[in-house]
Amino acid sequence: MRKVAVIGVGNSKFGVRNDVTISELAFEAVKPSLEDAGIDAKDVEFVALGSVGAGAWYEELLPAVVTSEYCGLTGAGLVRCEAACASGSAAFFTAYAAIASGHADIAMALGAEKMREIDTPTSMEWIGRAGYYFWEFHNFGLTFPGYYALYANAHMAKYGTTEEDLALVAVKNHKYGAMNPIAQLKNRITVDDVLASTVIASPLKLYDCCPMTDGAASIVLASEEKAKELKVDTPVWVAGIGYSSGTANLSRRPDYVGLEASVLASQRAYKAAGITPNQVDFAEVHDCFTIAEILAYEDIGLCAKGEGTKLIREGQTEIGGRIPVNMDGGLKSKGHPIGTTGCSMIYELTRQLREEAVEKSRQVPLKNYIGLAHNVGGTGHYCYVTILKR
């Protein structure tokens, strides 16, 4: 297997983007990623697109084709990847594999999603169908806030987690999202704001939930030989990728205090990278709901099981703490355009590892120059963990 480097990144503004089509949105990410890599669109040999809502949330049924044409990438090999909320990471893995296997020297992972062209109830139905449609959505009407509320209640019952603990996650992520120019939600909030917000699926309230988002992110990858040819200065390397999955039917899960797919994917990623969790300088984790971030701390080995609340209470996941997490605001504040999120996490890791976060107030201190992205699809139906190193 060949070494693979990230040589260019780009990210659109996240939010309600009714001002652009899916192709125009993708272009906002592709153009800066090509400029960052110092290449032309014609140099890209393969494109993997992460997108979930094609033909449902937005009009294009074949988004890889139309976005690639609009961005000047026609002629490259194309594929669309679907892994629910982890589709962007699946696209990144696919582009990485194309280079690592020797099939391409330059590839692109592109995430592009529009979620706001349809009404909220319809969107919630589509997302709710992402678990096990017949047993969970059709029979019981379970939606994704409901899925994660089950996990929140189980964690509270077993480990004493409180609603205030969940609120601290939202407060932290809004703090850093307010510093991020591409974030959807830039408002600073307090614990009281979270606790006073509308209950969505008890104990989860409105401010415990990520928004529905339009956005795109583009990552350009290259082989070691091509990176040298392009004279890329101190490239960011793909150190390891791990992946796993969980049962479609939640009734078959062993418990509701963690995601087994996250545990397995992270273990595989650490093994591939040849590192341990305590060597990671910072992480991007899948905080679609506040409980999901606490579960992630524990599942990927940042702390022992049941101790995730201790990290957030003590400020250990902020800058200055032991392991900064979601310094871009996370899904909670930056936004969660489902098929894009995995690529946007890689965008943030790369910028941080290069020490070029535009807003220096959210630049993490680096010791080992290692960053981790944890991207869950559904409620642990899919999981990808990606480790980058500079």
Amino acid present at 197? S
Query: CA 354 to CA 335: how far, in whole Å?
Result: 23
Taking the CA of residue 152 as centre, how many other CA atoms within 13 Å lie in the half-sphere pointing to its CB? 27
CA pair distance 257, 287, nearest whole angstrom: 15
Task: Please state, in angstroms and rounded to a whole number, the distance separating the CA atoms of residues 127 and 379.
Answer: 11
Whether 383 is catalytic is: no
Active site residue 210: no
E strand or H helix at 16: none
CB 204 within 8 A of CB 163: no
Token pair for residue 40? 């032309």
Q: Which one is catalytic: 85, 209, 288, 303?
A: 85
All residues at 6 or more sequence positions from 261 whose CB lies less than 8 Å from its CB, including other chains: 244, 245, 246, 376, 380, 381, 382, 383
DSSP 238: E
Residue 243 near residue 361, CB atoms below 8 Å: no
Among the options 155, 174, 286, 336, which is catalytic? 336
Number of Cβ atoms within 10 Å of the Cβ of 198: 8
- Half-sphere exposure (Cβ direction) of 2: Cα atoms closer than 13 Å: 21
- Of 258, 245, 244, 242, the residue nearest 299 (C-alpha): 258
Segments of 280-360 assigned E as strands: 282-284
CB 95 within 8 A of CB 219: yes
Q: Which amino acid is at 196?
A: A
Catalytic residues: 85, 336
